[in-house]
Amino acid sequence: MSVQKIKICGISNLLILEELIALEVEYVGFIFFAKSPRNVSTDFLESLKKVDFKSTRPVCVFVNPEEEEVYKISSYLTDPILQFHGDESDEFCESFGLDYWKAIRVKNKADLDLIDLFPSASAILLENHVPGTYGGTGESFDWNILENSDELANNIVLSGGINSENVHNAITTNSWCIDLNSGVESEKGVKDIKLINSILNIIKNYEIK
């Protein structure tokens, strides 16, 4: 699909999920956080057991979860990635024996030093820092912070407020993966396949130039 990997996060609709799988989007994210408008219902989680993800890999998104919750939810999926957005330690994140991504909230360049606290992470997700808020702000941090950063040797997932208007700038950060969420929604929590196809085409055409 693209050199830069793509993740569509906040999926809670089976038809949208099936279309993303058909599009061979590399990663699809499911949010398990009660305060999120994209929180996955029990019925939707149950339906995931029957889904053939093919080449698309599921990502389970948590915020300060209990161990039991992580084990239970991840058991519904084959080879999921765990994504942690709270105050979890590296030891906790790696204790489940699955690949994991750790989210770090960025307000300035010094925050990139936090990457070193998670040596076992298979990727680091960078998102905007809003005091008292864990992810889902729909806003971008200053991507210029990433210029000439040694941290980009890691698998960096760029997240927060990415849409068709700024995706070109997101691509130029040379991040390993771009995480799309609110920028491909027709309303909060509702993914729009037309917006998804539009931004995927922008990414594809940009790389051809």
Q: Domain limits of the chain?
A: 5-208
| Greater pLDDT, 42 or 208 | 42
DSSP letter, residue 18:
H
- Other CB atoms within 10 Å distance of the CB of residue 68: 8
DSSP letter, residue 153:
G
**Averaged pLDDT of the chain:** 90
- The predicted structure's pLDDT at residue 131: 59
- Other CB atoms within 10 Å distance of the CB of residue 91: 8
- The predicted structure's pLDDT at residue 65: 97
Q: What is the third-level CATH fold of 5-208?
A: TIM Barrel (3.20.20)
Place 140 in a pLDDT band, splitting at 50, 70 and 90: confident
Q: Of 136, 32, 137, 129, which is closest to residue 77 (Cα–Cα)? A: 32
In this predicted structure, the answer to whether residue 2 has a pLDDT above a threshold of 70 is no
- The predicted structure's pLDDT at residue 205: 84
Q: List all residues 6 or more positions away from 156 whose beta carbon is below 8 Å from its beta carbon.
A: 123, 124, 125, 126, 146, 173, 175, 176, 177
pLDDT tens digits, residue range 43-70? Answer: 999 999 999 999 999 999 999 999 999 9
pTM: 0.93
Residue 39: phi and psi, rounded to 5, are -60, 135
* Pairing of β 185-187 and β 190-191: antiparallel
Q: Any idea what the Cα angle at residue 32 is, between residues 66 and 198, rounded to 5°? A: 150
